[in-house]
Structure 1
């Protein structure tokens, strides 16, 4: 199948929202922006770095790409509306894999109330997917990383450590437990929780893509504060404990520094009522002589706090 036949096949079943006046098939899409502002984020996934095409099928890869990208929009307190996707792949890539990726992208977008409105394809040595997401704040101010203040409470919603456990399992050559392996293949970010958090007065927010400690470090740095996490407040699922014991791992390390689950972590004013599903895990304090820091039970965490592509 050539490039244009592939594009035609991908565009054949793309449902569109009512606010899209020009969708796939033209030089550019045209979408409405009722709020007068558009939240924009882009996420890139590379085979062998963010996913492995021998560990997941096309639909799983597509869903992962869409959900990871839309989690950034949710972390701003916005709702995803439109996705523009660029796919670069070797010429020998099976057509079924690419059509599966397109299906996964489409279905994940629709389930979130969004739609794929356009994109691009090209040839490369490595399968690469770039997803640009547009979002709607619905009249609310964006929730940024820089809003945390001393006295705020830190809370999280969504799974922590599951994808990291799944990656460890797959790296050891195993394919079960399926729940953890599939958590790595396809995350389950709580997209709607971002809007709820914003409406409940969240002062800062971020999605955990690289690791809880690493991403909280971005909030601490942007806000000029210190953040302390209580280990006892973190939920470690019994399944994680069981698998970690079998593999000789510490499940808390998956929870503290594992990425790819894309839960949301936010700060809320002291005494505020947390939205349903949000779990308090720590507090925000004044930055000390060392500047903005993230600690666990008052001490610096030994070991990496998350993923760094260029470390």
Structure 2
């Protein structure tokens, strides 16, 4: 299989084009939301929401089959967002306590799934996604969910950034912390819902965390982080789908599509991180050389002055 066929020809197939459409929309939204997650240091909360969504996925699948997955996940995600926001704002629970609650929620989901006749298949689908088998009827709901999350973040972006860098100033300016926190957590929850239905609940965290972290490495300008994260996530999703198709069709290696996409995300982040470290090291070496050149004339001047003393 040629490179052109893998990168472009594969998406002439209906199931690949659906996967690409959903992943492009989801990854761009996740990248933008993930920048705020990174700035606020909310990676733990995002991980918690993936656990909170899992019981909703499982119950929705058990009650309504494949059609019940999205509604069940959405209800669980929004309830989890409200509960986590309230727990963190009230100060009655620490990270350990929240982790215990979320672990319990995840175990409930596993118990529910275990009652299914196809326990292994259902569990694998919920954990690792079904990006290549997304039904046509799910495309519009997934795009709508992602668009709502993007709108929530877009409307409150300035206030969210203000709160991230200066919480006291944000409070003094009259911004309502609980409302901002709930809005951001709800947006994360909606991304988790869409992501859990595609790449799976265990892998969706990579979509939220990796693009924002990569953007921070590539730029120090705040408002450039959002387009950089979105573009990085979109390109990585496209390359991940292409790589999975090329491996499966061209090389006969059956790779899970969701895991392949996440692997490309992480590999791209590693490349950017390595490049950033090399550039920083080169900059430090250059600064040392400039410092030595600047110091050399002074040293020579001191030596000549010493030689001219009687």
Q: TM-score, normalised by structure 2?
A: 0.29
Which structure shows the bigger proportion of residues in strand conformation?
Answer: 1
Point out which structure has higher relative CO (alpha carbons under 8 A, 6+ apart): 2
Whose radius of gyration is greater, 1 or 2? 2
